[in-house]
Amino acid sequence: MLICWFYRRMISASLDADHALPRRAQDHVARCPSCRDFYETGLRMGEQLAASANHERVSSPPFLQGRIVAALNRPCKCPRAMLWRPAWTATALAVALVALTAWFMRDQSPLPPQPQPGVASGQSPILTAELFAAAASLPGEDTLLEWGQKLGQPLETELKSVLQDARKALAGLAQNFLPDGLSPIP
């Protein structure tokens, strides 16, 4: 349920921060058995992690504590937070530019329609197609075939490499995991 999803996020955040659950989440956990199980599982996991962390704890070198304290006492040379954000400024300028352009364009008359090129009544459609091809300067069939072969070369090389790697991987698996009598590799 969607409401449980929100409460579980709230429960997870509280457990991660080691804070008490907010009152709303406590009320929901009291009413919802699924979220109650989620909360109790999270509590048990946290306790188990804390207990296992004590066994894994190692002592730090003696000089490390002094370095950390000295680093904390040094004045911060980091830049202060900027009061203005460049992204917000750019967005505001873009919106202002669009609004200004729309305001100037509101009184402009529309452009007259331009005649569209097409087949004239006395013109052959084949001639028109040839004119269009010449105007667009389309490459010929031989050029297109040559381009196709050149574009396919890296793909062929990559496919050969993949097949070679797959064969090596299968040979290694067969050699390491199959009994000697069943291995196809001599």
| Tokens 């349920």, residue located | 1
For residue 138, what pLDDT band results from cuts at 50, 70 and 90?
Answer: low
pLDDT above 90: residue 27: yes
Q: Note the pLDDT of residue 180.
A: 65
Per-residue tokens: 23: 């009152």
- Domain residue limits, the chain: 2-54, 140-186
For residue 121, what pLDDT band results from cuts at 50, 70 and 90?
Answer: low
For residue 110, what pLDDT band results from cuts at 50, 70 and 90?
Answer: low
For residue 82, what pLDDT band results from cuts at 50, 70 and 90?
Answer: low
Residues recorded for the chain: 186
Q: What is the mean pLDDT of residues 98-120?
A: 70
- The answer to whether 94 and 86 are in contact (CB under 8 A) is no
Gyration radius of the chain's alpha carbons: 36
Q: Note the pLDDT of residue 93.
A: 86
Helix axes 33-56, 2-17, angle to 10 degrees: 20
Q: Note the pLDDT of residue 38.
A: 93
Q: What is the mean pLDDT of residues 83-89?
A: 70
pLDDT above 60: residue 28: yes
* Burial (Cβ within 10 Å: 0-12, 13-18, ≥19) of residue 15: middle
Residue type, 61: P
pLDDT above 90: residue 39: yes
Give the Cα separation of 90 and 68 in Å (integer): 40
Q: Note the pLDDT of residue 70.
A: 83
CA atoms within 13 A on the CB side of 148: 7
| Tokens 């197609």, residue located | 129
pLDDT above 90: residue 36: yes
Percentage of the chain beyond pLDDT 70 is 72
**Which run of H or of E encompasses 145?**
helix 141-177
Lowest-confidence segment of 25-29, 87-91, 119-123, 164-168 by average pLDDT: 119-123
Work out the mean pLDDT of the chain and round it to a whole number.
Answer: 78
Helix axes 33-56, 23-31, angle to 10 degrees: 110
Give the tens place of pLDDT for each residue, 51-75: 887 777 777 777 777 888 888 888 7
Q: Note the pLDDT of residue 134.
A: 66
pLDDT above 90: residue 32: yes
Count the neighbouring beta carbons within 10 Å of the beta carbon of residue 21. 17
Give the Cα separation of 40 and 37 in Å (integer): 5
**Which run of H or of E encompasses 21?**
none
Angle at the Cα of 178 from the Cα atoms of 175 and 184, rounded to 5 degrees: 65
- The answer to whether 39 and 11 are in contact (CB under 8 A) is yes
